[in-house]
Chain A
């Protein structure tokens, strides 16, 4: 599906850009954004290093195992394919905790670590497993109980009013993420191919 969406966006951009006379802006955007992509990745290096370093200490000291054990009932339900004492569970939990607390900077390195550990359990390294899709969908549904600092800054005193609506809306979207992921993973269209069949 990503193949079609990706191509569709580029195709539509070029066509529309030609018609509206924005084609120079389209070219410029393509060049600028490829630079932005590298800037983002480079600026991630430092934060990644910081959190992966702290994570290593948490892992070696056994802290992560303790946390993972406490949340086992939930993670077993969400990620039945992952062994409950696998390190991936610890990283997933810490990533979600970081998201819930609104620590975006800490969440990404922890999430990438979780992905790496989930990949160890993957038979075909190019195809996402059920656990990976579940993890990703929950992540993109933005579980959080603390408003993003940017929203608080922009809304000023009114931020207090949208606190409840944000929590309820994000709770609803997380619920939809979990339900839809569990529903789609059983569908043939999205099934994990057994012998190298081509799905997208």
Chain B
């Protein structure tokens, strides 16, 4: 039943954008008799200014993230954390993704692809990873873009709340997947393999 439901929702999602593009002007033109073409152009003009306004904020955030990744600091953090993670039952293979997810969308998608490649679609690790990816967002990017577009410099509690939400999503992903799909094969005593996996991440 779930199978057909997922296919169904994904089929629907294909038609949402075309539906919006046709129904909104249709409503305006035939029900309200407004000049839809002129209004569209008027609204579209703002696209340029907003996009250009976020550039400095994007540069600031993305440069810091890029440097952090390239320096190898992320890998060192992972190697340090592995024994602790084994202890609390968090699969260390999923840690790179968990750490990367708030920072970079393309980076975390790359890690997820790699994870599924290495462990297979049916593995618990891949399921946890995909759930993690789907239930969290690139918090730093969203913060930079959204606040940057209006020139907000003091973000107050937005960052900590966003990161807490990510953390909640990550923990929930691990917990739920272990309950629903878990067998005991989860990376216990698999230390050597993990280390080689982390070495391989060094890009």
Q: Is the CB of B146 within 8 A of A115?
A: yes
* B149 vs chain A, min Cβ distance (A): 5
* B169 and A142 within 8 A (CB): yes
The answer, yes or no, to whether B192 is at the interface (CB within 8 Å) is: no
- In the bound assembly, the distance between CA atoms of A163 and B131 in angstroms comes to 8
Most-contacted residue by chain B among A106, A116, A151, A161 (CB, 10 A): A161
Which of these binds chain A: B41-49, B78-86, B87-95, B183-191? B41-49
Q: For the complex, what is the distance from the CA of A103 to the CA of B138, rounded to whole Å? A: 15
User: Which residues of B in the span 21-48 have a Cβ within 8 Å of any Cβ on A?
Assistant: 21, 24-25, 27-28, 31-32, 34, 36, 39-48
- The verdict on A166 contacting chain B, using a C-beta distance below 8 Å, is yes
Overall SS of chain B's interface: helix
Residues A136 and B65 in contact in the complex (CB < 8 Å), given A160-B6, A163-B5, A169-B176: no
How distant is the Cα of A135 from the Cα of B156 in the complex, in angstroms?
13
Q: How far is the CA of A95 from the CA of B82 in the complex (A)?
A: 38
Smallest beta-carbon distance B35→chain A, Å: 9
User: A1-37: which residues lie under 8 A (CB-CB) from chain B?
Assistant: 1-2, 5-6, 9-10, 12-14, 16-17, 20, 22-23, 25-26, 28-30, 32-34, 36-37
Instruction: Given A54-B24, A147-B6, A173-B169, decide whether A60 and B34 contact each other with a Cβ distance below 8 A.
Output: yes
Among candidates B112, B145, B168, B181, residue contacting A161 with C-beta atoms closer than 8 Å: B181
Task: Provide the residues of chain A in CB contact with B71, threshold 8 Å.
Answer: 12-14, 16-17, 20, 22-23, 25-26
Interface status of A123 (Cβ within 8 A of chain B): no
Tell me how far the C-beta of A113 lies from the nearest C-beta in chain B, rounded to whole angstroms: 8
Contacts of A185 in B (CB 8 A): 156-157
Which one of B41, B113, B116 lies within 8 Å of A53 (CB-CB)?
B41
For B66, give its contact among A29, A136, A151 (CB under 8 Å).
A29
Count residues of A near B (Cβ-Cβ below 8 Å): 113
Known: A29-B69, A156-B121. A61 touches B62 (CB 8 A): no
* A53-B40, A162-B134 as given contacts; A60 in contact with B70, CB under 8 Å: no
A92 shortest CB reach to chain B, Å: 12
Which B110-132 residues have C-beta < 8 A from chain A?
Answer: 112-113, 116, 121-122, 126-127, 130-132
Considering the complex of A and B, which 9 residue pairs feature the smallest CB-CB distances, nearest first? A56-B43, A49-B47, A173-B169, A33-B66, A48-B47, A184-B157, A29-B70, A53-B44, A169-B135
Query: What are 20 of the A-B contact pairs (CB < 8 Å)?
Result: A2-B143, A6-B60, A13-B64, A17-B73, A36-B66, A52-B47, A53-B42, A63-B24, A135-B146, A142-B169, A151-B130, A151-B133, A154-B113, A161-B180, A162-B134, A165-B173, A169-B132, A173-B136, A177-B161, A177-B164
